[in-house]
Every structure is written in structure tokens, then in C-alpha cells.
Structure 1
Amino acid sequence: MPEIIFNGAEGRLEGRYKHSSASDAPIALILSPHPQKGGTMNNKVVYTLFHTFASHGFSVMRFNFRGVGRSQGTFDNGPGELSDAASALDWMQSYNANARSCWVAGFSFGSWIAMQLLMRRPEINGFVSVAPPAGVHDFSFLAPCPSSGLIVHGSRDGMVAEANVARLAGKLSQQKNIKIDYRVVAGAGHTFSEHLPVLQDTVGAYLRESLTP
């Protein structure tokens, strides 16, 4: 999968991109976990999401936030990382002008950034949020959530209480005109280390259902 370098607000950003052969393929941007806690685009959950979207016909990108790997800049505690994500989406759209849909997905901190991007970019019409840090970061900006999507969490997540994520999913589900699919993976911890195949199957099933006319 080709390495790419694109411009962000604080300098060059490093990513990996897989282009679909279909001219109108949907696009998906995958966002990684917390840069100051070892989060990179090579995280196993991020790679699993990348592979799952690619195998379902998406043109897909994952990238390193500023200050990670070869990406320039320094960690900005959210606002800068949201700017990075917007730059990544701009790059993808420039190469996929005929994309029939646009998705964003993220893991942990990346899911918090992904949902903020969702609020700012009306062209995004689907999302996958894995282990969103509800109770750690504020998700009240999702008022209302503009798109249907999938939230996946582990029942044994020691970093983010499952009850907090269930509460977030329930709140979003009360909104009109969208559907939130909330799935709990039994026995999975925050990193899904022993449950990546289950995560892949869960996300893949949701994509197949969502893409079926």
C-alpha cells in the first residue's frame, strides 16, 4: 500500500493509502489513538479497520497525527489533530471526486477526533467508532449527531467504562433520522488484542449491511 505525504497546517503528514479500482468507490479515513500514548497509524485496531474498509471496496487512508512518525508538528491535545484529519480528508477527496459516499472511523482518541470531524464535514455520511473515550473526553458536541454509524466497545475495557459508552450510544439513538448500532464485544479489553478477528467481522458485517442498496 503506497506511502503518501501530504500537507497539513503544521507541515507534512505521513500516511498510507489504498485506492479502489472502482471510479465511484466510497472513501474512508481511519484515525489512530492518542499520539502521546503510543498511538500510530500502525496500531493493530487501526490496521484492522483499514483492511476491513479496503476489503469492502473503499478507497481508504490511515495516517500519523502531527508529531508521530514522519509527521511534522507537535501534539495539540485535539484541535490540531482535528485539523490534521481535515487535511487528510481534503487529500482523499482530491483523488476521489466521484466517491459515492464518505466515511470516517477511529479508535479511542481517534474516534473522538473522528466524531468532531463528522460534525464539521456534512459530506461524511457514515462512521465507525471503536472504544470511544466517553467519560474521558466530552462528546456533548454531538447535538445532534448528523449521521448513522456503528459504535463498538469491549466488555472488559479497563480504560473506558462500558457503561459510559452505552450511555453515549443510547443518547445518540434517541435522535431522529439516524440509527446507532451499538455492539459490545464480550471479553475484549481496550486494545481488542485477543479479539481483532471479532472486531473485523463486526465492522465488516455493518459495512455490508450499510452498502446494500
Structure 2
Amino acid sequence: MPEVIFTGERGRLEGRYQPAKTRNSPIAIILHPHPQFGGTMNNPVVYNLYYQFVNRGFSVLRFNFRGVGRSQGSFDHGTGELSDAAAALDWAQSVNPDARACWIAGVSFGAWIGMQLLMRRPEVEGFISVAAPASLYDFSFLAPCPSSGLFVHGDKDAVVPTTAVATLVEKLKTQKGIVIEQQIVPGANHFFDGKIEDLMGVIGTYLDKRLPGSRKDSAA
């Protein structure tokens, strides 16, 4: 899990990167929760998401948004963080010029940023949005949503009601050719405390369905 430093709009950004073993493997970018509420690239959900993709043969990057850890800059209410995410994807593509596709995965605030990046980058073919803050941020930019993906939420989430995510998913489901799935993890709060194994089971099942034959059990 090599440490990497790459250049963002406001200076250096700190990340962890695991290259795939084959040249044309897809890329995955993992985005962490809100920087001002303790979100970092070492968040347990982010860490486990990272390995969900590593274990399926992706080249995977997780990183700290500006002002977090050793990343330079300061919190920018989403605008700058979207720029950081774009810089992360640019960097990952620069070291994987033969990559055939890209996925975005985000947790809470990171899910909001990830869905905005999805709208701007047509090469993103799939997404995982965990605890998407549908009641806290405007998701109306998803008109239409260009890629299929998965929303996962806990039914005990006291930060974002499950109904808010369900309403968003129902809206997105109306688009032809795009399949949006929603899964609920019973007993899970916004941070999936004590339920990360259940969460990863849901995500792993979804990825195996979308990426048949990609599972690499030895790459842990």
C-alpha cells in the first residue's frame, strides 16, 4: 500500500495507492467523509472499500482531501474537494494509461463529491455511494445519471433518513439503460459502526455481479 503524493489545485495531496498486476486493469477512486467531521482516507469504511476493489484487480487510490492529514490547502465546502477528486483521477490515469475503465466510490460527503465527478467524467462506468447525504446536499445535478451503480444506507442512520436516499434512487431509476440499485443494511448507523462486515458483504456481492470473474481472494 504505497504512500503517494500528487499535485492538486491547492498543492500536494496525500494518498495510498495499490497498482493492479495487469496493465489494462480498471481504476477505482475512493472518497472519504466530511473533512470537518473527522473524515479521512483512513476511515474504516473507506479502508475496506479500498480493498474491495484491490481484491478485484483494480488499481486503487484513496486520498485525503485538501487540509486533511498531509494534504495541503483548506476545506472548500465541496468545490475544492471536487477539484481534488478530479486531480486524483487524473493522477491515477497518468500512471495507468492503458486502464480500460474507472469506478468511483464515496462515503457520505465523499459520495456527494463522487457523484459530481461521475457527471464530469464519461469514463466512469460504475459507482458505489455509501450513506449518500441526500437530505443535506443537492443531488439534482444527476439529470440524468450517466452510469449504473449502487446506493447503500443503514436503516438506523440518524444523519440522513433512508427515505431521502430512496427518493433520490427512485428518481434516478427512470432513466433508460441505467440500473440504479439501493441496498439497506439493517441496524447500521451513518458510520456503519459494528456493521462494516455486513456493508462489505453487500458491496462485494454487487461488485461480483457487475464484474464477473474479477475476484482475487489472494490479494488482501
* Smaller-chain TM-score bracket: over 0.9
Task: Show the counterpart of 1:43.
Answer: 43
Contact 1:12 1:72 in 2 (8 A): yes
The offset of 1:212, in angstroms, is 2.3
CA distance in 2, matches of 1:100, 1:204: 21
The offset of 1:170, in angstroms, is 0.9
Task: Show the counterpart of 2:33.
Answer: 33
Contact 1:32 1:46 in 2 (8 A): yes
Structure 2 stretches lacking a partner, 5+ long: 214-220
Task: Show the counterpart of 1:18.
Answer: 18
CA distance in 2, matches of 1:136, 1:176: 27
Task: Give the secondary structure class of the aligned counterpart of 1:81.
Answer: helix
- 1:117-145 residue CA offsets vs partner (Å, 9 max, x unmatched): 00001111100000000010000000000
The offset of 1:207, in angstroms, is 1.0
Instruction: Map 1:1-213 to 2 at 5 A.
Output: 1-212=1-212
How many percent identity over aligned positions? 61
CA distance in 2, matches of 1:94, 1:201: 32
Specify the code of the residue in structure 1 equivalent to 2:119: M
The offset of 1:198, in angstroms, is 1.1
- 1:35-83 residue CA offsets vs partner (Å, 9 max, x unmatched): 0000000000100100111111111010000000000001000110000
Tell me how large the CA RMSD over aligned residues is: 0.8
Normalising by structure 2, we get a TM-score of: 0.95
Specify the code of the residue in structure 1 equivalent to 2:95: Y
Normalising by structure 1, we get a TM-score of: 0.98
Q: Following TM superposition, where does structure 1 have runs of at least 4 consecutive aligned residues deviating by more than 3 angstroms?
A: none
Contact 1:56 1:204 in 2 (8 A): no
CA distance in 2, matches of 1:177, 1:52: 26
Task: Give the secondary structure class of the aligned counterpart of 1:125.
Answer: strand
- 1:167-198 residue CA offsets vs partner (Å, 9 max, x unmatched): 11111111111001110001100001111111
Task: Give the secondary structure class of the aligned counterpart of 1:128.
Answer: strand
How many residues matched? 213
CA distance in 1, matches of 2:192, 2:59: 24
